[in-house]
A and B are shown apart, each in its own frame.
Chain A
């Protein structure tokens, strides 16, 4: 057994099966779902960290499930980007799990409706662990139909999590989210069907090696891209995101904005990595234009919002744009481009999750999240406000945060390739982010003392986990070489 763990390749499958097991246990132990939930999160975190360590020490690899080689069987693939995403999910996921424990306990303690909060927690843990397993499965999968199954798992569990809050607005948002997700999944599946028709294989690496621009492949790429853009909420398809993310429970908002969006984008990236040399300038530029519009439009909308969680949700719409403006830059330098965008993804994930967690803490303490009425809340919750501000710094791209490193890499790429309009978009996006974040932070940190000074009702773990995540986002500004080394490990 020990020998198996040390020598075998089973590290690849553990981040998928451990949360699945945790989900089943937390569903079964409905009197105490928190214990198996947090335990499952902890174990998954360590399994993911072990996978990363294994990758760095032994290099990447593939794992043939059931011992069947592709094209017959399904394989998992571990390379730098995949394991980095698994690791990012582990870090953010562990913080969110710790937060969620305190969050539900505080809610159960706070008001009279214990039954309702208990029922929410009872559903939260299985859904969240299933979502985690599905995300890990998605990152590691090398089989395009398997990706469809994990996409559906992700979609259904995130819809369930969105609807968990029970507020009328969240139900409507969840319904819309579900319909959009189903449309995206079906579009993806039709694309998979076209690819299978041409290539007779479901293995992404085999398909990528034999890719051409036959009509069927073009249609497949269009269908897959549109389906995944719907799920990632790139600009014209972003309409479902703000209500769904802003009206969910606090840990759920962090999960949706910090992790789920990245999952769909990651698949998009994997598909485009292969075709990018084929499609030429036009398609990549189109993606970048959409991304640029998303950056500006999302920032403008975020500036207009009156509620803190809506502001953070629209800032996600804006940040998604950065994930897509990389594609024209990747044509000249694929490695540097991938490094920049993955650096952006991980720092955004930590920062955004920290901001949503902090906003949720404020909401729970104050009872609302109207920005103009949050004056002076820092006196009550200093750690939380600090976490929010720190996350904001990373979004703006100010040193010494991870966001700064990512944007620096973006800019140096864009300047060296003389794409001045991209430089302008990145700079403008950062300035706009500074404006809307300062607007919120100015209220939170204002010296006036008009906010409620009631007894602190939130658990300490909520404050500390948000702060830890924000600190990780900042720490990413110092460990750049380490992360870049991980990204460059080949599969």
Chain B
């Protein structure tokens, strides 16, 4: 089996999406990009002949994790539903590593 252009494009898109999940200023957009990242990941697994994993990824990795992130986003941003949170004064969050 030889590398097809499709595989290359898919891999590049995956990396591009991952990068933009991390750098896009809008958190809501980041989460949406993450969900599409998960769906493309499922496609990659179909290409690698792993349909079981692809199904699980599409349902759990992308669907449920995405739903978790969206609901967390809504909970973390006080205010109206669907309001977008832009990366502004988030200095207080600098608690991680």
Closest to B95 in A: A172
A-B pair count, CB < 8 Å, reads 9
Interfacial chain A residues near B2, Cβ < 8 Å: none
Judged by DSSP, the binding face of A is helix
- Contacts of A8-38 to chain B: CB distance below 8 A: none
CA distance A176 to B97 in the complex (A): 6
Interchain CA distance A180-B96 in the complex, whole Å: 9
For the complex, give the distance between the alpha carbons of A385 and B48 in Å. 62
Sort chain A's interface into a size bin: under 10
A interface footprint on B28-54 (CB within 8 Å = 1, 0 otherwise): 000000000000000000000000000
> How long is the Cα–Cα vector from A394 to B97 in the complex, in angstroms?
33
Number of interface residues of B (CB under 8 A): 3
A179 interfacial contact with B, CB 8 Å: yes
State whether the Cβ of A409 lies closer than 8 Å to any Cβ in chain B.
no
Chain A residue with minimal CB distance to B97? Answer: A179
Q: Tell me the residues in window 148-200 of chain A with beta carbons closer than 8 Å to chain B beta carbons.
A: 172, 175-176, 179-180
Kindly list chain B residues whose C-beta atoms are within 8 Å of the C-beta of A179: 96-97
Closest to A240 in B: B97
**Is A175 within 8 A of B95, CB to CB?**
yes
Task: Report the nearest A residue to B96, measured CB to CB.
Answer: A179
CA distance A179 to B97 in the complex (A): 7
The answer to whether A180 touches B95, judged by C-beta atoms less than 8 angstroms apart, is no
**Residues of chain B with a CB closer than 8 A to A176's CB:** 95-97
Q: Which residues of B contact A180 (CB under 8 A)?
A: 97
Contact residues in A for B97 (Cβ distance below 8 Å): 176, 179-180
Cα A179 to Cα B96 in complex, Å, equals: 7
Q: Mark B71-97, 1 if CB is under 8 A from A, else 0.
A: 000000000000000000000000111
Q: How far is the CB of A106 from chain B (nearest CB, A)?
A: 32
Chain A residues positioned under 8 Å from B95 (CB to CB): 172, 175-176
When distances are taken between beta carbons in the complex, the residues of chain B under 8 Å from A172 are 95
Please give the distance in Å from A373's CB to the nearest CB on chain B.
Answer: 29
Closest chain B CB from A213 CB (angstroms): 29
Query: Quick one: closest B residue to A178, CB to CB?
Result: B96
What's the least CB distance linking B91 to chain A, in Å? 14
Closest to A179 in B: B96
CA distance A213 to B97 in the complex (A): 32
A327 → chain B closest CB, angstroms: 27
Shortest Cβ gap from B69 to chain A (Å): 15
Give the chain A neighbours of B96 by CB distance below 8 A.
Answer: 175-176, 179
Q: For the complex, give the distance between the alpha carbons of A404 and B97 in Å.
A: 36
Query: How many Å from the CB of A156 to the closest CB on chain B?
Result: 15
User: Which residues of B1-28 have CB atoms within 8 Å of chain A's CB atoms?
Assistant: none
Q: How far is the CA of A356 from the CA of B39 in the complex (A)?
A: 48
Query: A222–B97 Cα gap in the complex (Å)?
Result: 21
Docked complex Cα distance between A354 and B88 (Å) = 47
- Chain A's nearest CB lies how many Å from the CB of B47? 19
Q: Say how far A400's CB is from chain B's closest CB, in angstroms.
A: 43
Rounded to whole Å, the gap between the CB of A239 and the closest CB of chain B is: 8
In whole Å, how far is A453's beta carbon from the nearest beta carbon of chain B?
40
Closest to A180 in B: B97
Task: With A175-B95, A176-B96 given, name 5 new contacts (CB 8 A).
Answer: A172-B95, A175-B96, A176-B95, A179-B96, A179-B97
Task: Identify 9 residue pairs between A and B in the complex whose beta-carbon atoms are under 8 Å apart, listed by A's number.
Answer: A172-B95, A175-B95, A175-B96, A176-B95, A176-B96, A176-B97, A179-B96, A179-B97, A180-B97
Interface residues of B (CB under 8 A from A): 95-97
Q: A-B pairs with the 8 shortest C-beta distances?
A: A172-B95, A179-B96, A179-B97, A175-B95, A176-B96, A176-B95, A176-B97, A180-B97
